[in-house]
Amino acid sequence: MFFLLLLLKYSILCLYLFEKELILMKTSTKIAACALGVAAAANAVHAAAFRPKKQELAPLPDEKVDVDRYRKHLSRAIQIKTISNRESDLVDWAEFQKLQDFIDETYPNVKAKLEKTVVPPSNLVFRWKGTRSDLDPIALLGHQDVVPVTRGTEDDWVHPPFEGFDDGEFIWGRGALDMKNHLLGVLEATEALLEDGFEPERDVYLLFGDNEEVVANDKNGARDIMNYLKKKGVHLDCVLDEGGAMLPVDVPHVINGKYLAGIGIGEKGYADIEVAVCAKGGHSSQPPKHSAIGELADVIKDIENHQFKSKFSYNMKQLLDSVSRNVTYPVRLVTCNIKALQPALLQIFKLIPPAACMVRTTTGVTMTQGSPAANVLPQRASVTINFRAMPGVTTDDLVAHIRKVVRNKDIEINVLNSKEASKMSPTDSRSYKIISDLCSRMEPNAIVVPYLVMGGTDACNYEPICENIYRYGPFKADASLMLCTHGTNERIPIACMKEALVFFKSFIREASAE
């Protein structure tokens, strides 16, 4: 009986406690639900307010431009085969002379009023003297050379690569996007400004190198031009070269009708490094457990398994923030917390090669070499690795990295080719603001962001005489079209050519003013 009473009491106590627990649980669930509700409401308000900063900008001036003339000239310029080559002797310099003659004939005002200097072999310097020689000049860059058409792919072109065919929608040919479009756009704008009777305050330099596409060579046209200017004591206020463009961004339900205008403020470094392993070699009928190639396989694995650290740079964070503010409201409910999401986002970036290259120095294993015959053991096996270094990572750092991560300490390391990463140009300079504002004025739906250029340009050669170096071509074209650059069916949409001329004219007007 006592036991029964005790059990009953215990059961009541349990029930009581259980009920208490339930009440407690209900209360805490209610509190949690309330807290979540408040947080969700706060997040909803935050997402609604998480919009791009509004800026009042005047629309672009009504510049007089002649697109038909630009089209005709671009077609003709594409027909001139200014193909560069690592071996200077293999370059057809007569074609470069043809391009120079074409410029002289086509732009009579440029010829008459700008001072022209040829820096050998075929680099062009045009100086438009301003009214205020006490101010630092500005420079607009362009390269005259183009890459060749890969042998065997000529027939894949819809229109032959050196015909400059204009079908009313596109102008087709090698250089249509990289970068006779840009080079001629600069010349057309200059000619038009001269026709308008415009006089710049600062000197305006047009600097056209002759071998940007093979710049890893000892010969470097842009560097020769820079040295020529440096000797004359010129210090440039700003440089505008190729690089970014105005790309439409449309992802259903995520981002609608926007454009991404990336202004390149720096570029990655480049290095081809050979790593070799030596062995005894000999007849392949009596092989050791691992030949030099077997040893090399471990070296390659060590290098690939130790990728460089990934990190969002300050500019990358700015880019993420700008894009996050421009997505649709439902997506902004997430992206408004972009700062908190960055560590997770970085992990995702690391997994996707086109994104990973934006956040780290990349390691591309590209070539291997072993013995010269199938029945000979190699005495030396080597691998070539192509690194694209983030600013701040030098070629010496790359070599030190290899030494550190490869367990085999008997390796031989040779730097075959290298170009250091550029400095990063400021985003608070007068010239950056002019470019950025012009992008926004040209396209009110543009998200204008500074970014790191993955490839190389001539621009970084001007670092000794300029701090404000920007890479932007004012051409509005689909990213898929941009991928034709250096490839088959390179072509420029005619629809983007008018805005480009307005941009170049406006840039020269504004940047050359005090």
Q: Which residues bind Zn ion (CB under 5 A)?
A: 178-179, 242
Helix (H) or strand (E) holding 148: none
The nearest distance, CB 455 to Zn ion, in angstroms, is 8
Report yes or no: 211 and 146 within 8 Å, Cβ to Cβ: no
Choose between 395 and 457: whose C-beta lies nearer to Zn ion: 457
Choose between 178 and 224: whose C-beta lies nearer to Zn ion: 178
The nearest distance, CB 179 to Zn ion, in angstroms, is 4
Residue nearest Zn ion, Cβ-based: 178
Choose between 166 and 490: whose C-beta lies nearer to Zn ion: 490
The nearest distance, CB 441 to Zn ion, in angstroms, is 26
The nearest distance, CB 306 to Zn ion, in angstroms, is 33
The nearest distance, CB 182 to Zn ion, in angstroms, is 8
CA distances from 193 to 83, 108, 128 (A): 30, 13, 11
Which residue carries 């404000």 as its tokens?
468
The nearest distance, CB 459 to Zn ion, in angstroms, is 10
Choose between 213 and 499: whose C-beta lies nearer to Zn ion: 213
Residue 478: Cβ within 10 Å count: 13
Classify residue 439 as exposed, middle or buried by CB count within 10 Å of its CB (0-12, 13-18, 19+).
Answer: buried
Q: Is 144 helix (H, G, I), strand (E, B) or coil?
A: coil
Q: Is 461 helix (H, G, I), strand (E, B) or coil?
A: helix
Classify residue 14 as exposed, middle or buried by CB count within 10 Å of its CB (0-12, 13-18, 19+).
Answer: exposed
Choose between 378 and 456: whose C-beta lies nearer to Zn ion: 456
The nearest distance, CB 210 to Zn ion, in angstroms, is 12
First to last CA, the chain: 104
Distance CA 514, CA 510 (A): 8
Choose between 178 and 203: whose C-beta lies nearer to Zn ion: 178
Distance CA 421, CA 217 (A): 16
The nearest distance, CB 416 to Zn ion, in angstroms, is 23
Distance CA 98, CA 79 (A): 10
Choose between 222 and 359: whose C-beta lies nearer to Zn ion: 222
Choose between 242 and 490: whose C-beta lies nearer to Zn ion: 242
Report yes or no: 474 and 504 within 8 Å, Cβ to Cβ: yes
Q: What single letter denotes the amino acid at residue 343?
A: P
The nearest distance, CB 254 to Zn ion, in angstroms, is 31
Q: Which residues pair with 449 in a beta bridge?
A: 262
Q: What is the DSSP letter of 423?
A: P
Q: Which residues pair with 417 in a beta bridge?
A: 272
Choose between 140 and 303: whose C-beta lies nearer to Zn ion: 140
Residue 499: Cβ within 10 Å count: 18
Distance CA 500, CA 507 (A): 10
CA distances from 47 to 320, 337, 451 (A): 15, 8, 25
Choose between 179 and 293: whose C-beta lies nearer to Zn ion: 179
Report yes or no: 212 and 198 within 8 Å, Cβ to Cβ: no
The nearest distance, CB 461 to Zn ion, in angstroms, is 13
Q: Which residues pair with 41 in a beta bridge?
A: none
Please report how many Cα atoms fall inside a 13 Å half-sphere around the Cα of residue 371, on the Cβ side: 17
